[in-house]
Chains A and B, each alone.
Chain A
Amino acid sequence: MSEYLILIFEDEKAYAEGGEQVFGEVMEAHNRFSEQVEEVGGKIVGGKALQPVSTATTIRHDVVTDGPFAETKEALGGYYLVEARDLDHALQIAKLCPARFGGVEVRPVMEFPDE
């Protein structure tokens, strides 16, 4: 098994406008996702939701500025670290990952020979 990071990029405005009901539905979807990952033979190693981009701070060459590293309409809002057999398996898992206001990016985690 290898590790893949699933990065969730979504339009934060949609959550702000959707209110509690949308938030509740999405939380439920994420709970279901955890179960589904096991059903397809994968494993969630870790994962977190992030505070909105308005709370982000960027440091470039020791200069501290307010805001995210890159301004995009869809911002990184959370991630999962999962274990999968290969990219096909990781993509199968990532397709199940909730991201109704955007999408996800899948990145293999680098492995070092002496690990």
Chain B
Amino acid sequence: MTSRHEVAEAVADAHRREWGFVLAATARVAGSLDVAEECVQDAYGAALDAWLRDGVPRSPGAWLTTTARRRALDVLRREQTLRRKLPLLVEPVHTEPLPGDDGDDGIPDDRLRLVFTCCHPALSREAQVGLTLRLVCGLTTDEIARAFLVPEATMAARVTRAKKKIAAARIPYRVPAEADLPERLDAVLTVVHLVFTTGHVAPTGADLVRPDLVARAVDLGRVLRSLMPDEGEVTGLLALMLLTDARRDARSGPDGAVVLLEDQDRSRWDEDEVAEGFALVRAAARAAPGRFLVQAAIAAEHARATTYSDTDWRRILRLYDVLLGLWPSPVVALNRSVAVLMVDGPQAALDEVEVLAGDGRLDGYRYLAATRADLLRRLGRQPESAAAYREAIALTSNAAERRFLEGRLAEVTPR
């Protein structure tokens, strides 16, 4: 006999692990994401009683999918008159039979279709992120709203509008054709990376990190990698997230203050995540270099070094040059200036940062001001450094980052 507590745990676990899988498989039968969502929710609700009665099934995901798909078919039968107009998402021919109660095979993994639909370029980036977290990760609208610091009503409206557009404009439920794949995949990876970075440095609030979002992003990265093991960028993104997240515990001091890479206690980096990140970077060594893979290679180079000064900065600078060629972004150029600092000194780095500051694209970017401030401080130009730190502080909403910058400002301000 399984206890109510164990069953509740099993349902919660299946919610976290299998939601996207169950929803994706159900959407194909349901013909609309809304109907699919409702049926999947019902199935999770039904699981609690059924599993208490019959025990937790061997494959909870398959049980939930079968239940949700049956419900979807019921809904479709009831709405038979509308059926003619609905079923864009429905496969024209049902080749696979619905699996039986005991079966855990035969359900195709449709999560890729779901991810590509959620991240369709006809949807705004905000909507892509909201939909992905709602439909693929199973987060509630309220959870997503809190993560992105918008009112729940705003997030609900965003997700609803996006789902309506998918239905009305007939955004197809499929993995894009080979020719469109690189561009479309880039949108998917950008969404996952955005979820990760939002968790890694919370845009506002008291804490530096939002571990829940980081975990969701890493989960998504794992799912994508399991479904597209040969895509170098998919592997690169997962490696980048793991190698970055590995520094989590070392990134803030006991009082929550920011600790820079330079000052981090590297023994506190997560060994498992570093090892997995290394293995992934190695596995993708023959893939064409893309922006995530090269960033992962840079992160791996940091993880390889025993100390900050032992780091192979020349190699990191070369990797940044490759990255800048692939992705000519001023943010990349700014990050590259750190490698320039270590190879050619603060004056060379400041020269490059001033050029960046002059072109205006990074106006209002807090890390531009913070980087300038740091380089000026290293060059002993205190008053200019203090002014730049003040500018950076005015642009920063994260409390931990603000405290760090205020500490630096105090150092360069004469008493």
Residues of chain A lying within 8 A (CB to CB) of residue B81: 113
Q: Which of A24-32, A40-48, A72-80, A84-92 lies at the binding interface?
A: A84-92
* A88 x B82 contact (CB < 8 A): no
Contact A108 B82 (CB under 8 A): no
Could you tell me if A91 and B122 are in contact, using CB atoms closer than 8 angstroms? yes
* Complex contact B176–A87 (CB within 8 A): no
CB under 8 Å from chain A, chain B span 326-344:
none
* CB interface residues, B 188-213, toward A, < 8 Å: none
User: Is A2 in contact with chain B by the CB < 8 A criterion?
Assistant: yes
Specify which chain A residues have a CB less than 8 angstroms from the CB of B5 in the assembled complex: none
Task: Check: B322 CB closer than 8 A to any chain A CB.
Answer: no
B27 to chain A, nearest CB (A): 15
B58 at the binding interface (Cβ < 8 Å): no
A111-B85 contact, Cβ under 8 Å, with A86-B171, A87-B172: yes
Q: Chain A residues near B171: list those with CB within 8 A.
A: 86-88
Report A36-58 CB contacts with B as 1/0, cut-off 8 Å. Answer: 00000000000000000000000
A82 nearest CB across to chain B (Å)? 13
Docked Cα-Cα span, A106 to B121, in Å, equals: 13
CA distance A41 to B168 in the complex (A): 21
Secondary structure at chain A's binding surface: helix, strand, loop or mixed? mixed
Q: Give the contacting residue for A86; candidates B82, B85, B170, B180; CB below 8 A.
A: B170
Neighbouring B residues of A90 by C-beta, 8 Å = 170
- Expressed in whole angstroms, the Cα–Cα distance for A85 and B169 within the complex equals 11
The residues of B that contact A110 with a CB separation of less than 8 Å are: 168
How many residues on the B side are at the interface (Cβ–Cβ under 8 A)? 13
C-alpha gap A106/B85 in the complex (Å): 21
Nearest Cβ distance between residue A7 and chain B, in whole angstroms?
Answer: 14
Q: Closest chain B residue to A108 by CB distance? A: B169
Residues of A near B319 (CB, < 8 A) are none
- Report whether A86 and B172 are in contact in the complex, using a CB–CB cutoff of 8 Å: yes
Assess the A86–B122 pair: CB atoms within 8 A.
no
State which of A88, A108, A113 has its C-beta within 8 Å of the C-beta of B168. Answer: A108
Which of chain B's residues have a CB closer than 8 A to the CB of A86?
A: 88, 170-172
Q: Which 4 pairs between the two chains have the least Cβ-Cβ distance?
A: A86-B172, A86-B170, A108-B169, A87-B169
Bound: A88/B174 CA distance, A: 10
Distance, CA A114 to CA B88, complexed state (A):
17
Could you name 14 residue pairs across A and B whose Cβ atoms are closer than 8 Å? Answer: A2-B170, A86-B170, A86-B172, A87-B120, A87-B169, A87-B171, A88-B172, A88-B176, A88-B180, A90-B170, A106-B169, A108-B169, A108-B170, A113-B81
How many residues of A are in contact with the other chain, CB < 8 A? 12
List B contacts of A87 (CB < 8 A). 120, 122, 169-172
Which residues of B155-182 are within 8 A (CB) of A? Answer: 168-172, 176, 180
User: Which residues of B lie under 8 Å from residue A106 when comparing CB positions?
Assistant: 169
Residues of chain B within 8 A (CB-CB) of A88 are 171-172, 176, 180
A1-16 contacts to B, CB under 8 A, are 2
Alpha-carbon distance between A106 and B168 when the two chains are bound, in angstroms: 12
A77 vs B120: C-alpha distance when bound (angstroms): 28
User: B81 — nearest CB in chain A belongs to which residue?
Assistant: A113
Instruction: Name the residue of chain B whose CB is nearest to the CB of A89.
Output: B172
Within 8 A of B (CB), among A59-115: 85-88, 90-91, 106, 108, 110-111, 113
Chain A residue nearest in CB terms to B167: A108
Contacts of A108 in B (CB 8 A): 168-170
Q: Is the CB of A113 within 8 A of B85?
A: yes
> Given the complex of chains A and B, what is the CA–CA distance between A53 and B199 in angstroms?
49
Chain B residue with Cβ nearest A110: B168
Q: How far is the CA of A86 from the CA of B169 in the complex (A)?
A: 7
Are B172 and A113 in contact, CB atoms less than 8 angstroms apart?
no
List chain B residues, Cβ under 8 A from A91.
Answer: 122
> Whole-angstrom distance from the CB of B160 to the nearest CB of chain A?
17
Since A86-B88, A87-B122, A87-B172 are in contact, a sample of 18 more A-B pairs with Cβ atoms closer than 8 Å, ordered by chain A residue number, is: A2-B170, A85-B172, A86-B170, A86-B171, A86-B172, A87-B120, A87-B169, A87-B171, A88-B171, A88-B176, A90-B170, A91-B122, A108-B169, A108-B170, A110-B168, A111-B85, A113-B81, A113-B82
Query: Chain A residues with Cβ under 8 A from B176's Cβ?
Result: 88
CA distance A108 to B120 in the complex (A): 16
Residue of A nearest to B172 (CB): A86
